[in-house]
């Protein structure tokens, strides 16, 4: 099994570097170069736009069964090719092989869900006098420019493609330059399952060049972005000039509320596993832990001991619980968060250091007594670190949880049903986990509120975001 030669895909053709600029793709566990990624130039992007325009005209006419067959076929191929695809995803992103395999299954599951759901894009017939007809129909929005980040190298591209393709849109997908082979594998599965040329282009490039070029074009009718709130705001402004539809999946800073009456053992285990996942580089990763006074000390002790036991190493190695961070920016950022918290009077209970001098490994870290003025209590850390703070009352913790401009995921741990109801109503977020951190599923909308973005991916709501409404009236 080898890492593939990296290419762009435009109008049914795989294009290798040739005279194009290139970008080195690095294995974050070793620092070794995996491959040279061709970067699209302006001519490539113009060609991709023309192809997406043409591809949309073809694909919008395809029946729901044809679209569904391609998505279901791609899901089958992804499952058949799981070993190779997951290994390459671990090589380029760092997370463990068990995680990349699970991620691949999530992507296949989403394609299967949309293969079936494509047949249920119903419209309405309005009540009118005899002889009159008024219909409400839903049509694909048009060519989509989609930007996916590196943290889920298989599933993020899958999310950017599943709903648009199910509804009859064409797509120009720009995944992150850090993890291109995984995105190539997803696109290849769709092509092998019969996706016509021009319906899906895959480009890599200098992100700002690509997004400015694509979003300036009237051919693109929708922007779909997953990434940081800062970049999301920049892209929203670019999309405004041509009034494009938008789906924005942006950063979060998930509050975790641990009540005195939680099941301590289960809570510790659930949160430790969620935090170790992808070294904390997950938009719904639990990050701000508010722990009620009665259980605070016992929780912090048990949680710190649990994450300190995790085996950190190359994600390809057997028995590893957490891989490296995906790129050198992340350990630098985490060190900055920790130093700032300590300056504000917080304590490092466990971890706090890089591991080794090769790759981007960092210890699972717990910071206690973090004041609300510390940067880590205000900005998403995106790494294997949590900050804890004690609380007394329900009202006080709700105020803390909702204090930030973000609202993606929020979690609460309690064995009291009434507390669970009240806290799920009170949290200003798009997704609530009660005694669980597992929330993503093909049939369930995934998305945030406030500055965490708008619009949902997954579920029927993901299809709604790719459709426009037309009313037709006839006498």
- What residue spans of 169-228 are helical by DSSP H? 180-192, 207-216
Among 65, 208, 293, 297, binds ligand NAD (CB under 6 A): 208
Selected catalytic residue, list 283, 380, 428, 457:
283
Residue 176 interacts with ligand NAD (CB under 6 A): yes or no: yes
* DSSP secondary structure letter of residue 118: G
Rank residues 128 and 329 by Cβ distance to ligand NAD and give the closer one. 329
Rank residues 250 and 463 by Cβ distance to ligand NAD and give the closer one. 250
Residue 212-231 contact track with ligand NAD, rule CB under 6 A, x = bound: --------------xxx-xx
Rank residues 59 and 406 by Cβ distance to ligand NAD and give the closer one. 406
Selected catalytic residue, list 249, 379, 428, 451:
249
**Host H or E run for residue 10:** strand 8-10
Rank residues 285 and 292 by Cβ distance to ligand NAD and give the closer one. 285
User: How many residues sit in the footprint of ligand NAD (CB under 6 A)?
Assistant: 22
Residue 246 interacts with ligand NAD (CB under 6 A): yes or no: no
Rank residues 360 and 391 by Cβ distance to ligand NAD and give the closer one. 360
DSSP for 134-156, written as a single string = EEEEEEE---EEEE--SSSTTHH
CB 30 within 8 A of CB 23: no
Burial of 377 (0-12, 13-18, 19+ CB in 10 A): buried
Among 35, 149, 198, 410, binds ligand NAD (CB under 6 A): 149
How many distinct helices (H) and strands (E) make up the chain?
14, 24
DSSP for 340-354, written as a single string = HHHHTT-EEEE--SE
Rank residues 72 and 185 by Cβ distance to ligand NAD and give the closer one. 185
Burial of 161 (0-12, 13-18, 19+ CB in 10 A): buried
Q: Rounded to the nearest whole angstrom, what is the least distance from the CB of residue 60 to ligand NAD in the complex?
A: 26
Q: Of the listed pieces 25-33, 39-47, 248-256, 434-442, which binds ligand NAD according to CB under 6 A?
A: 248-256
CB 45 within 8 A of CB 205: yes
Residue 374-393 contact track with ligand NAD, rule CB under 6 A, x = bound: ------x-x-----------
Among 283, 310, 322, 370, binds ligand NAD (CB under 6 A): 283
Burial of 421 (0-12, 13-18, 19+ CB in 10 A): exposed
Q: Pull the structure tokens for residue 67.
A: 């679209």
CA 411 – CA 403 distance, rounded (Å): 15
Q: Of the listed pieces 10-18, 243-251, 258-266, 427-435, which binds ligand NAD according to CB under 6 A?
A: 243-251
Among 59, 114, 150, 289, binds ligand NAD (CB under 6 A): 150
Closest by alpha carbon to 121, among 54, 186, 62? 62
* DSSP secondary structure letter of residue 417: H
Rank residues 281 and 414 by Cβ distance to ligand NAD and give the closer one. 281
Among 196, 197, 207, 336, binds ligand NAD (CB under 6 A): 207
Pairing outcome for strands 33-38 and 22-26: antiparallel
260-279 binders of ligand NAD (CB under 6 A): none
Please report where in the chains the tokens 């293969």 appear, as a residue: 115
The answer to whether 283 is a known catalytic residue is yes
Residues that bind ligand NAD (CB under 6 A): 147, 149-151, 176, 207-208, 211, 226-228, 230-231, 234-235, 249-251, 283, 329, 380, 382
Active site residues: 249, 283
């Amino acid at each position: 099994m080898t890492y593939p030669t990296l290419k762009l895909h435009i109008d049914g053709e795989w294009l290798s570097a040739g005279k194009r600029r290139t970008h080195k793709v690095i294995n974050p566990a070793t620092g070794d170069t995996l491959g040279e990624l061709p970067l699209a130039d302006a001519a490539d992007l113009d060609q991709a736009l023309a192809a997406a325009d043409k591809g949309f005209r073809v694909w919008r006419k395809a029946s729901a069964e044809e679209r569904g067959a391609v998505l279901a076929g791609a899901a089958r191929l992804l499952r058949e090719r799981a070993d190779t695809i997951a290994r390459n995803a671990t090589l380029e992103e760092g997370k463990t092989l068990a995680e990349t395999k699970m991620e691949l299954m999530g992507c296949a599951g989403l394609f299967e869900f949309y293969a079936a759901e494509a047949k249920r894009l119903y419209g309405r017939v309005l009540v009118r006098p005899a002889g009159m007809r008024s219909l409400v129909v839903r049509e694909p929005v048009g060519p989509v420019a989609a930007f996916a980040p590196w943290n889920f190298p298989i599933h993020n591209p899958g999310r950017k493609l599943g709903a648009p393709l199910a509804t009859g849109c064409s797509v120009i997908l720009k995944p992150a330059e850090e993890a291109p082979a995984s995105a190539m594998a997803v696109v290849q599965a769709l092509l092998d399952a019969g996706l016509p040329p021009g319906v899906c282009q895959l480009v890599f490039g200098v992100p700002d060049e690509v997004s400015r070029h694509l979003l300036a074009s009237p051919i693109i009718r929708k922007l779909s972005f997953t990434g940081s709130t800062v970049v999301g705001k920049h892209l929203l402004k670019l999309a405004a000039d041509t009034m494009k539809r938008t789906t924005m999946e942006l950063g979060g800073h998930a509050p975790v509320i641990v009540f005195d009456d939680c099941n301590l053992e289960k809570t510790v285990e659930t949160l430790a596993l969620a935090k170790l996942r992808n070294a904390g580089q997950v938009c719904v990763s639990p990050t701000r832990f508010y722990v009620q006074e009665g259980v605070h000390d016992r929780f912090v002790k048990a949680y710190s001991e649990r994450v300190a036991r995790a085996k950190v190493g190359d994600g390809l190695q057997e028995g590893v619980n957490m891989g490296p961070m995906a790129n050198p920016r992340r350990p630098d950022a985490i060190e900055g968060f920790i130093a700032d918290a300590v300056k504000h009077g917080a304590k490092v209970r466990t971890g706090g250091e890089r591991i080794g001098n090769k790759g981007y490994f960092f210890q699972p870290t717990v910071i206690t007594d973090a004041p609300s003025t510390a940067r880590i209590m205000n900005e998403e850390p995106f790494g294997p670190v949590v900050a804890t703070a004690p609380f007394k009352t329900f009202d006080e913790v709700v105020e803390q949880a909702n204090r930030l401009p973000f609202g993606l995921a929020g979690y609460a741990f309690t064995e009291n049903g009434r507390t669970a109801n009240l806290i799920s109503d009170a949290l200003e977020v798009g997704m609530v986990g009660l005694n669980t951190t597992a929330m993503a599923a093909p049939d369930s909308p995934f998305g945030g509120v406030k500055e965490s973005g708008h619009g949902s991916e997954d579920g029927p709501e993901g299809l709604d975001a790719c459709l426009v409404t037309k009313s037709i009236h006839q006498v």
